[in-house]
Homo-oligomer: A and B are copies of this chain.
Amino acid sequence: MAGGRGERFWPQSCAATPKHLLPIVGDKTMLAQTVDRVAGVVPRENIFVLTTQAQLDGCRTASPGLPAGNVVAEPMGRDTAAATGLAMLLVKERSPNAALAMLPADHVIHDTVEYRQLLTVAFEAAESADVLVTLGIKPTAPETGFGYIEQAGPWKTIAGRPVMTVKRFVEKPDGETAKGYLASGRYFWNAGMFVWRVPVVEAAFKAHAPELYAGLAKMEAAAVKAAGGWSKALPEIYPTLQKISVDYALMEKSTNVVVVPATFDWDDVGAWPAIAKHFTPDAAGNVLRGLAMVENGSGNIVVSDDGHLTAVVGANDLVVVHTPTATLVVPKDKAQEIKALLKRLADDPAKKKFL
C-alpha cells in the first residue's frame, strides 16, 4: 500500500512525492526499502504496489525489479477496505487460493532478518487455517495515535514463534485507556499489516461488508471475466466502491483473527520529529541532514538538501526543513500544526503550487 499523501513531511512530501517516495530515513525511498524487505520472502514478480495516479510513475521508479504492471494505480482513493479488495482480486486472478500480505510502504523496520522470519510465520499461519492474520507491534508507550489489538490467548506455535488468538480490534484510545492497554501486556499496536488467503478474506467481505463485496464482485466480473480488463473496470467501478477502512469493515467484526507478535523494530515515522531516532545526532543532540548547521542549540532537526545552507542559531528543539521551493520552521512539539498551514496553502490559489 503506497498511496498516502504524507503531508506531515511537507515541504519534502507533496502530492506527487509523498513520504513513501522519499528517503526520509535511509538512502532509498521508503517504498524501495519495503520492496527489498519483502523480496526476501515473496518473489518480486508476486509483489504488487497499490498507489494513486499521481504517484504511479514515482512508484514504478522506486520499485526496482517489479514488472511495471504490478504497480497499480487506484483511480481515486477509496480507503483501505477497497484497496484490500483490489489486492485480493489482483492475486485471485493469478492464483485463487493464494495467501497475500497487505503491507504499508512507509514504515521503517531495520531488523530485516527478524521481519522476514515473522512474515513467513504469518504466511504459514494463514495457510494453516481459515484465519485473518495480523502482525501486532508490542507497545513501548501509551500511544494514542494507533489502533490496538487485544489478544485472547495462545493459538499455535509456528517455527518456534507464538501466534495468539485475537479478542478484539479497538480504535485509537485516549491517553488513560492507552496507559491501561500498555500496563496489561495484552495489547498490540495495529500497524496495518495483514496476511490471509484469498478465500478467507473474500468470505470476510461477504459476511461483514456485503455492500463492498457486491461492488468487488462486479469489478471482478468486469476486469477478469469481460473484455477490456482492469483498464476498463478500474476507472468505471473502483470509484463507486464503499469508502471504509479495513479495520472497520473486516477486522473489528471478524472472530477468526489471530495475531503474530512482532519482535522486530518498527516505526511508522508519523512526522518530522520521529526521524530523529533513526539518525546519529551531533554532540549537541542535533540531527543534521545535508548542509545543515546549528550554533548554540540542541535537539534540533535540520534538513537542507541541494547545496543550500540552513543554519539554526541559539534555538532548541526546532524542525527546519529546506527544499528548493519551500522552507518549514516548526517546534518539534508543534509538528501536528503543519496541517493547518497546508489547509491555508490549499485554500490560496497563489500558494497551492507549494503543496
A interface list, Cβ under 8 A from B: 11, 291, 293, 295-296, 304, 308-315, 318, 320, 322, 324-331, 334, 337-338, 340-341, 344, 351, 354
Contacts and interface: CB of A to CB of B under 8 A. Distances in A.
A142 B304 CA distance: 40
Contact of A315 (B311, B318, B344, B354): B318
Contact of A331 (B314, B324, B325, B327): B314
Contacts of A341: 293, 295, 311, 313
A88 B334 CA distance: 58
B344 A329 contact: no
A327 B309 contact: yes
A324 B11 CA distance: 16
Given A293-B351, A314-B331, A329-B329, 18 more contacts: A293-B341, A295-B340, A296-B337, A304-B327, A308-B324, A308-B327, A309-B326, A309-B327, A309-B354, A310-B327, A311-B328, A313-B340, A314-B334, A315-B318, A315-B329, A315-B331, A318-B329, A320-B329
Nearest to A326: B309
Contact of A311 (B313, B314, B318, B329): B329
Contacts of A308: 324-327
A254 to B, nearest CB: 41
Contacts of A291: 351
- The 8 A-B pairs with the shortest beta carbon distances in the complex, nearest first, are A314-B334, A313-B330, A309-B326, A295-B341, A310-B327, A314-B337, A312-B329, A309-B354
A119 to B, nearest CB: 38
Residue picked from A293, A310, A314, A322, most chain B C-beta under 10 Å: A314
Contacts of A334: 296, 313-315
Most central of A291, A313, A318, A324 by chain B CB within 10 Å: A313
Nearest to A315: B331
Kindly report how many copies of this chain are found in the complex they form together. 2
Contacts of A354: 309
A9 to B, nearest CB: 13
8 contacts: A296-B334, A308-B326, A309-B351, A315-B318, A315-B334, A318-B329, A320-B327, A329-B329
Contacts of A325: 308-309
Given A334-B315, A337-B314, A354-B309, A295 B329 contact: no
Contact of A340 (B296, B309, B328): B296
B296 A312 contact: no
Contacts of A322: 322, 327
A328 B304 CA distance: 12
Nearest to A343: B295
A189 to B, nearest CB: 27
A204 to B, nearest CB: 42
Contacts of A11: 309, 311
A196 B76 CA distance: 78
Contacts of A331: 314-315
A137 B163 CA distance: 81
B296 A344 contact: no
A325 B311 CA distance: 11
